[in-house]
Structure 1
Amino acid sequence: MSDIADIDEEIPEVGTLPLDAWHRARGARMVEFAGYWMPVQFEGIMAEHNWTREHAGLFDVSHMGQLDVSGDGATAALEALMPGDFAALKPGQVRYSLLLDQDGGILDDLMVTNAVHHFYIVVNGATKWDDIAHLREHLPDEITVNHLADDALLALQGPEAAQVVERLGLVPLNEGWSAAHELKFMQSAPYRWGDVPLRVSRSGYTGEDGFEISVPADHVASFADALCAEPEVRPIGLGARDSLRLEAGLPLYGHDLGPETDPIEADLGFAINKRRRAEGGFPGAETILASMGAPARKRVGLLVEGKMAVREGASIHVPGGEPIGQITSGGFSPTLQRPIAMGYVDAHHAVPGTALEAEVRGKLIGLTVATLPFVPHRYHR
């Protein structure tokens, strides 16, 4: 487990999610995260991590914000706040994007779906209230931002997720759409499970194949029961979600990303496509586009020597020399059986194979810059 123990202490009251009792009944160890009580583990992080890599893990990610953005001109209005090419999104297509401040700093990373007559957007749990306020403040009055507060969100992740979804017998709500298990990576569509409406997206945060499924909160317990009745599926906590995303080289907002980072140094330049690079028109565009070829620092993967994990905040040094960066995420990799980390270093020290050191409680630990991801993605394209 890397940085998942960090707690959002700015929210005085801890909320509960629709599956709170469901998790507790299954022996989950609950922790405060992003303002909610959430399961960090059920049977153990290592076992849950490996189960997801080999079978299918069920994650409760209902703390995340689900938004519906609609109105005439919504496409252009969203493009004025983010660098994504939403005009090019086909119906049902999902795109990773970034909410930027006026200087190009990252306020959040999120997923935007063309849901035909509106945009369906999923934002991070710890930032959702700020995101909603930012959108409502900066979008034109004719654009409506609806927080889907009555919907839960589950993520079914792992190589056996598709066969489980196939068995559910979901019925497409839109004519001409394929079965849910036949969706490709970054495709999304509405379905029906019995009489229960769902939105199914083939996406996730583990590097594995999988689905994120929006479910009405009053039906989520029965839906989770149906999933976990399948032999391939077990409930998985936040601890394994964190170790999986770290192995996949995926950044965590508030740790690897924040207002002090821009998309290029964060290695997220792919979120700015050719048209947006040519036209600009998003916050901080001039600064961001000017740094595309040569950012001053870069987010990198780091292999850690020995058995000791290096955690967020540890300084990164050239061997025997001055500090040139900082660790932003770190932990033990169950798949690689060694500690790994991510962090930011000066660009000229970001070449894979570069030897560096981290200072941990006065001790120097060897690092080697590695190509991300640490474990190859297995998305269904």
Structure 2
Amino acid sequence: MSDTYDLARSAGEKPPVLALPLDAWHRARGGRMVEFAGYHMPVQYEGILAEHLWTRAHAGLFDVSHMGQLVLRGANAAQALESLLPGAFATLKPGKQRYSLLMGDDGGILDDLIVTNRGDHFYVVVNGATKHADIAHIATRLPAGVTLEHLEHHALLALQGPDAAQALAALGLAVESLAFMEAAAFAWNGVELGVSRSGYTGEDGFEISVPASHVEALADALLAQPQVRPIGLGARDSLRLEAGLPLYGHDLSLDIDPVEADLGFAIPARRRVADAGYPGAAQLAQAFAQGPARRRVGLLIEGRMAAREGAEVLADGRTVGTVTSGGFAPSLERPIAMAFVETALAVPGTALTLSVRGKSLAATVTPLPFIPHRYVRKGAA
């Protein structure tokens, strides 16, 4: 069931903090709730370190129902998407997904998102903190004959880790047929689930769209599997940082373009031209032609102190960049960070200094991701 989005909802006063469909479920299992993206969400259960390592070794269940689930329908839906995003969607085959970016008129990033071709419509997942602005931006730019729905009565779960496929198979879901960035509909206890082999931890895993009225039963069934534990926002953030994945509002923003963010892979050659037809296309074409003045890089930090967002990056006493994400990496047992630095200094092995609360920390530029991705790709052994 879905509701057509009403533009009037994007105006007016800030709404109260909302409860996820699984709010009571999280609290009953010891979830420590915090406000995030307009919702009460669990930041942790038994502890961030334990939850992080459990997900890397087994399977972690994340509630990401705060994210926006959208449906675009119409004969020209693919063309409509290409007028908004720099990706190629006219060639996206049914059952396939593609990472893309919602662009501002000046070439900055409004949001990053995932688009799925479900055959008779496109399914789009946007970030929770930006979803209402995204919906308003998209809705006002759609041509006649293309409709936008916000699936407000659907929840979204992410099951991540090497045991995720086994746990879903135990529920009778034949998800082994999917490879990374593929999606399909599955029936479970008479309920239709939209399942994709994707996620934001760097591990193999799945995202599951389920009617909110059935999400508690599905969460219970998954948690009954011995390899599955509930995981909070804290571990979700440390997992994505180790995987070198940018977070909107931190590593991506209107002040950052896709070229300097090292997201050029999401923009095919035919869409890197000034007349490609999406917002910011001319600025992006220029960025590709000239090359970026700064780049997103990974940093390995000496010692035990973490560098957080906003920390200055220095070279020979001169400020050359800024940390956008940072923290302790449980899998590496050391602090790491992502930062934007001058392009000449973005070479792996470059020694830099971070200024953190009046202290200088030694750091070294390192390739991203910090740990290898373990996605299950088609054709892989």
Q: TM-score range by the shorter chain?
A: over 0.9
Alignment of 1:17-166 (within 5 A): 17-166=20-169
Aligned partners of 2:303, 2:99: CA distance in 1, in Å? 35
Residue 270 of structure 1 is aligned with which of 265, 269, 279?
A: 265
Work out the CA distance in 2 between the residues paired with 1:362 and 1:281: 47
Please give the alpha-carbon distance, in whole angstroms, between the structure 2 residues aligned to 1:377 and 1:275.
28
Q: SS of the residue aligned with 1:31?
A: strand
Match of 1:342? Answer: 338
Instruction: Report what 2:354 is aligned to.
Output: 358
Q: Distance in 2 between matches of 1:12 and 1:213?
A: 27
* Distance in 2, Cα, partners of 1:232 & 1:292: 45
CA deviation vs aligned residue, 1:51-89 (integer Å, no higher than 9, x gap)? 000000000000000000111211111101100100111
Tell me the residue number matched to 1:173: none
Give the CA RMSD over aligned residues.
1.1
- Alpha-carbon deviation of 1:101? 0.8
2:200 partner SS: coil
TM-score with structure 2 setting the length: 0.93
Q: Name the structure 2 match of 1:242.
A: 237
CA distance in 2, matches of 1:11, 1:353: 46
Secondary structure at 1:377 match in 2: coil
8 Å CA contact retained: 2:272, 2:284:
no
Q: Aligned-pair distance for 1:285? A: 1.6
Residue in 2 aligned with 1:368? Answer: 364
Match of 2:220 in 1: 225
The separation in 2 between residues aligned to 1:141 and 1:362, in whole angstroms, is: 56
Q: Deviations over 1:163-185 (max 9, x none)?
A: 11111113xxxxxxxx3222000
**2:374 aligned with 1:378, yes or no?**
yes
Q: How far 1:120 moved relative to its partner?
A: 0.2
1:171-190 → structure 2 map (5 Å cutoff): 179-190=174-185
Match of 2:300 among 286, 291, 303: 303
Question: Could you tell me how far apart the structure 2 residues matched to 1:181 and 1:230 are?
Answer: 17
Residue 100 of structure 1 aligns to which amino acid in structure 2? M
**Secondary structure, aligned partner of 2:340:** strand
Question: Distance between the aligned counterparts of 2:217 and 2:153, measured in 1?
Answer: 16
Q: Give the deviation of 1:287 after TM superposition.
A: 1.9
Query: CA offset at residue 203 of structure 1?
Result: 0.1
Secondary structure, aligned partner of 1:224:
helix
Alignment partner of 2:43: what SS? strand
* CA contact 2:272–2:288 (8 Å) conserved in 1: no
Distance in 2 between the 1:245 and 1:349 partners?
24
CA contact (8 A) 2:96 2:117 kept: yes
Pick the aligned partner of 1:199 from 177, 194, 197: 194
Identity %: 66
Corresponding residue number in structure 1 for 2:314? 317
Q: Displacement, 1:225?
A: 0.2
Contact 1:305 1:367 in 2 (8 A): yes
Offset at 1:12? 4.9
